[in-house]
């Protein structure tokens, strides 16, 4: 079903700058008179909050030991959070004709859960089916960055290492994102070089969004 709004997703390995660029692009769009909902996954909702505890490795078993959920359990939780996200936030905003910018969406689930599954690529079909109710984005922007540069950025921001931030896994995640068009062949996907300055990356993202931006006359 076609909705009047524009739905843009930012994706990439940890440290690629999706969160930073979400805020920068939101500000740039609002300066152009565009009404924007900036959101993220995992969401601040009940399932998303649980997922953030899992990602931060703060889930404990009955003996107080760190608990790591199975990859398929994580995939189910992400899909459930996404259904709630779409129905509670994304669809209503798009129906109002707003732009929705999301820091991650179902491509993250396909890339991360297939990379952590013992099935590898064989898990992709199930992951796609699991997310079949997810609204398709107008455009997905994959921020590409060398894994070592991304790791340096994560170290610079500080904080403990999260569940998926192991160096070897991040290399595999980078390969997964490089294959994004194969993973979601019916989606519009554009790759953005995230190695430049924040301002340059923002400019490149806005250039990729040009065809959907209102003309100056329509804003006036």
Give pLDDT, residue 164: 93
The CA distance from 204 to 133, in Å, is 30
In this prediction, residue 11 has a pLDDT band, given cuts at 50, 70 and 90, of very high
In this predicted model, what pLDDT tens digit does every residue of 53-109 receive, in sequence order?
999 999 988 888 888 899 999 999 999 999 999 999 999 999 999 999 999 999 999
Give pLDDT, residue 27: 97
The CA distance from 192 to 215, in Å, is 23
C-alpha dihedral (23, 25, 27, 33), degrees to nearest 10? -150
Give pLDDT, residue 52: 96
In this predicted model, what pLDDT tens digit does every residue of 21-64 receive, in sequence order?
999 999 999 999 999 999 999 999 999 999 999 999 999 888 88
Give pLDDT, residue 216: 58
For the cut 70, the answer to whether the pLDDT of residue 219 exceeds it is no
In this predicted model, what pLDDT tens digit does every residue of 123-177 receive, in sequence order?
999 999 999 989 999 999 999 999 999 999 999 988 888 999 999 999 999 999 9
């Amino acid at each position: 079903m076609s909705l009047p709004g524009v739905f843009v997703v930012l994706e990439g390995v940890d440290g690629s700058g999706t969160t930073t660029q979400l805020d920068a692009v939101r500000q740039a769009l609002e300066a152009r008179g565009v009404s924007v909902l900036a959101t993220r996954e995992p969401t601040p909702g009940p399932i998303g909050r649980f997922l953030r505890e899992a990602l931060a490795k703060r889930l404990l078993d009955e003996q107080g030991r760190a608990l790591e959920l199975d990859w398929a359990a994580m995939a189910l939780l992400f899909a459930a959070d996404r259904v709630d996200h779409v129905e509670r936030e994304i669809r209503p905003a798009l129906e109002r004709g707003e732009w929705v910018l999301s820091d991650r969406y179902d491509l993250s689930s396909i890339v991360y859960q297939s990379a952590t599954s013992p099935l590898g690529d064989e898990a992709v079909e199930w992951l796609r089916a699991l997310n079949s109710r997810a609204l398709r984005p107008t455009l997905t922007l994959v921020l590409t960055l060398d894994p070592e540069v991304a790791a340096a950025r994560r170290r610079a921001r500080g904080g403990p290492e999260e569940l998926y931030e192991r160096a070897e896994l991040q290399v595999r995640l980078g390969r997964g994102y490089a294959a994004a068009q194969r993973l979601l062949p019916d989606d519009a996907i554009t790759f953005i070089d995230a190695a430049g300055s924040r301002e340059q990356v923002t400019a490149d993202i806005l250039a990729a969004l040009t065809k959907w931006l209102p003309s100056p006359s329509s804003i006036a």
